[in-house]
Structure 1
Amino acid sequence: MENRIVRLSFQSPVHFGGRRLSDGECTCDAATLFSALYIEALNMGCADDLLCAAKAGEIVFSDAFPYVGEQLYIPKPMVALARTASPQRQEPSDSRERKAGKRLKYIPLTALDSYLAGTLNFVRELEKFDLGVSFLRTKVNLTRETSDDAEPYHVGGFSFNPECGIYFIVRGSFDVQPLFEQLGYSGIGGKRSSGYGRFSAEFASAKPFDGMLETDPAGRSMLLSSSLPREDELTDALLEGAKYLLRRKSGFVQSAAHAASPRKKRDMWLLEPGSVFVRRFEGDVFDVNVTPGAHAVQRYARPMWMEV
C-alpha cells in the first residue's frame, strides 16, 4: 500500500493535552487524528467508508511527530544502544550527556543509524531541537449562575516556530486529502472555538522512509502509533524480547449527539510510539462506550510499524 507524509503547518497555536486543560503538548496521537477526521467525514457523508477502511486495515495512521524545516523527527527507539568510544559522542560517564539522553524524546530520521550505533551526541541534538514554545494562559469564566465572582482557569497550548510543525504518515488507498483540507478550517485538538489548531496540509511521498516501512520485516520493529493488540494477539510470544511503555488514555465523549450530558469513555492502556517488538500485531479500532448513547464511540488503536 502507498505511504504518504502529511505535513501540517499551523496558523494558530494548538492545544494537545493529556488529562488537564493546562497541558500544552506539541503532538497528538493517531486516535486524536482519526476522531477529528471522522467528524469531518460525518459532515461529508463518508464516515462509514472511513470507519470500515480503518477496521479492515485499509487505511493506517501514525501518531504526529515534529518536523523542523526539512528535517523529520521520529520517536527515540526503545533499544539498548551500542557502546562506542567515538569522538562524536561524549563519554557515557558525562552527566550532561546522560541527562540529555533521557530528555530527548525525538531524534532526526537521518540520525537513526547514528543513534543505534551509539554515536549520536544527545546534548547537541537537544540544543538543535527548537520546535516552538509552550504557554499557559489565564482565562475567566464569566458564567455566574451560582456565584457573583468570575472564575479564572488556565489553558495550555503550544506555538510552533516558522518552518516547524507536525506530520503524520498515512498508509492506504483511501483518499483522506479532502478530509484533511476540511479539517484545516475546523482545527485539530482542543479549544477550537477559540481559533486553536487551524492548519494547512501538504501531502508528499514517504520517500525519506524508503525501506523502513516494510510490511514483512526481517528484524525488530518500532511502533509509530499509539496502539493495542487485540485480546487474541496479546500472548507471551508477542511480548518476548519487546521493550515498551504504556500510557493510560481516558476522557469524555466529545459529541453533543451522543447524550444530553458528557459521558466518560472507557479507559485504555496503549503502547507508546518508540516501543520495539520482535513480533508484530494488527490491533483494532476498539469500542470505548461505557454507557449507551445515540452512536458508537470508538478509539483508533491500529499500529504502524517501522523496521529498526
Structure 2
Amino acid sequence: MADRIIKLSFTGPVHFGSRRLSDGTYTCDAATLFSALYVEAMRAGCADELLHAAKVGDLLLSDAFPYVGEELYVPKPMVGNVRSDAKRATASDSRERKANKKLKYIPLSALDDFLTGNFDFIGALAQFELGTSFARTKVNLTREMSDDAEPYHVGAFSFNPGCGIYFVVRGAYDADPLFEQLGYSGIGGKRTSGYGRFSARVENAGGFRFADAPSGRAMLLSSSCPKERELTDELVDGAKYHLARKGGFVQSTTHADSFRKKRDMWAFTPGSVFPHGFDGDVFDVNATPGSHPVYRYARAMWMEV
C-alpha cells in the first residue's frame, strides 16, 4: 500500500495519558495507537498478523501530530539554532524566542523555511488554533475508606472544528479496517464517558520526505527505542535528541488478578535528529509474569531534514 496519513476527526473530547489525570493533552505516541489497534485486532482475530507486520516493518506508525484545517503539523526538528546572527539581532527577537519555545510543532509546508532560518515563529504560533484544554470535576463514589464522596479532576482536550490529529502509516499491511473499528471504541482514556471516539479519513502522504534507511541527517516521526545491538556510540555521535520515560500499568483484565506495572523503558522522542538510523522493535514490557505478553511499539519512522 502507498504511504498514507490517517486523519482523526473527534466527535467529543479526548483524554490522553500524561503525568497526571488532570492533564489534558492533544497527542499520543505510536505505542498508544498500536495498543489500541492490537485490542481491535484481537477482537477481529488478526492480532498475530498485526504483531508480525509491526515487528518486520510491514507496518510503521508515527506518533500523533496535529492538523489545523488542511495544514499538517510535524515535530519541530532538533537541529540547533536555525536563525542567523543578523536575524537574532532584530527588535522582535524576544517575541520570536518566546514563540519558538511555545511551538512544539511546525507546518509541514514550512519545514524548509524552518531549516533555512526563514521561519516566522510569531505568525505560526498565531495560526495554531487547535482547540481548548480543560478539566472536569468527577466524584468518586467508592466509600470504603471514607464517608464522604471524593472529587477528582480529569483533564481533556476539545478540538476546534476542522482540527484533530493524524498518524502517518507506512508499509504493506492494511490497518485501515482496524482504524475504522477503533473509531467506534475510541482512543485514549475515559472512553466509557464517550471520550476519544472519531471518524477516520485516509489521505496520501505525498508531502513527506521519508528516509527508509537513513545514511544522512534524518528526524524521527515516532517514539522509538533501538534494539540493543543498534545502540552504539556511532548512533548518538552528533545526534540531537530528547529521551522520555515510558511506563504505566497493564490495562488488560486477563493478564493478572491485580494491576501490574509495565517495565519502564526510555525512548527517543519525535523531532530527534540522528546522522544514522536504527529500526527499533516491538518490545515485551512484562515486568512480572502474566498470562500473556505485554507489548510496547517502539519502531522508528524517519524523515529527511
TM-score bracket for this pair, using the shorter chain length: over 0.9
Alignment of 1:126-145 (within 5 A): 126-145=125-144
From 238, 263, 276, the counterpart of 1:266: 263
CA contact (8 A) 2:222 2:269 kept: yes
Q: Offset of 1:166 from its aligned partner?
A: 0.3
Structure 1 residues 146 and 217: CA distance shift in structure 2, 3 A: closer
Report the Cα distance in structure 2 between the residues aligned to 1:267 and 1:242, rounded to whole angstroms: 23
2:51: which partner in 1?
51
Mapped pair 1:17 → 2:17: yes
CA contact (8 A) 1:81 1:115 kept: no
Structure 1 residues 85 and 139: CA distance shift in structure 2, 3 A: same
Q: 5+ residue gaps in structure 1?
A: none
Q: How many residues align?
A: 305
SS at match of 1:232: helix
Mapped pair 1:256 → 2:253: yes
Mapped pair 1:171 → 2:170: yes
1:208: which partner in 2?
207
Structure 1 residues 92 and 295: CA distance shift in structure 2, 3 A: farther
From 229, 237, 242, the counterpart of 1:240: 237
Q: Offset of 1:93 from its aligned partner?
A: 6.9
Q: 5+ residue gaps in structure 2?
A: none
From 223, 230, 242, the counterpart of 2:227: 230
Report the Cα distance in structure 2 between the residues aligned to 1:217 and 1:11, rounded to whole angstroms: 38
Deviating more after overlay: 113-122 vs 150-159: 113-122
The amino acid across from 1:65 in the alignment is F
Report the Cα distance in structure 2 between the residues aligned to 1:59 and 1:27, rounded to whole angstroms: 20
Report the Cα distance in structure 1 between the residues aligned to 2:9 and 2:80, rounded to whole angstroms: 34
1:28: which partner in 2?
28
Report the Cα distance in structure 2 between the residues aligned to 1:154 and 1:282, rounded to whole angstroms: 39
TM-score by length of 1: 0.96
Structure 1 residues 117 and 81: CA distance shift in structure 2, 3 A: farther
1:67: which partner in 2?
67
CA contact (8 A) 1:90 1:97 kept: no
Query: How many percent identity over aligned positions?
Result: 69
The amino acid across from 1:139 in the alignment is K
1:119: which partner in 2?
118
Q: Offset of 1:51 from its aligned partner?
A: 0.4
2:95: which partner in 1?
96
Report the Cα distance in structure 1 between the residues aligned to 2:107 and 2:45, rounded to whole angstroms: 38
Report the Cα distance in structure 1 between the residues aligned to 2:97 and 2:83, rounded to whole angstroms: 13
SS at match of 1:269: strand
1:161: which partner in 2?
160
Q: Offset of 1:82 from its aligned partner?
A: 3.7
1:38: which partner in 2?
38
1:288: which partner in 2?
285
Over the residues paired in the alignment, what is the CA RMSD in angstroms? 1.6
Q: Offset of 1:258 from its aligned partner?
A: 0.5
Report the Cα distance in structure 1 between the residues aligned to 2:218 and 2:53, rounded to whole angstroms: 23
SS at match of 2:164: strand
Report the Cα distance in structure 1 between the residues aligned to 2:92 and 2:107, rounded to whole angstroms: 24
Moved over 4 A (4+): none
Report the Cα distance in structure 2 between the residues aligned to 1:113 and 1:85, rounded to whole angstroms: 19
Q: 1:200-247 CA distances to partner (integer Å, 9 max, x unpaired)?
A: 0001111122xx113144630000000011111000001111000001
TM-score by length of 2: 0.96
CA contact (8 A) 2:213 2:277 kept: no
1:107: which partner in 2?
106
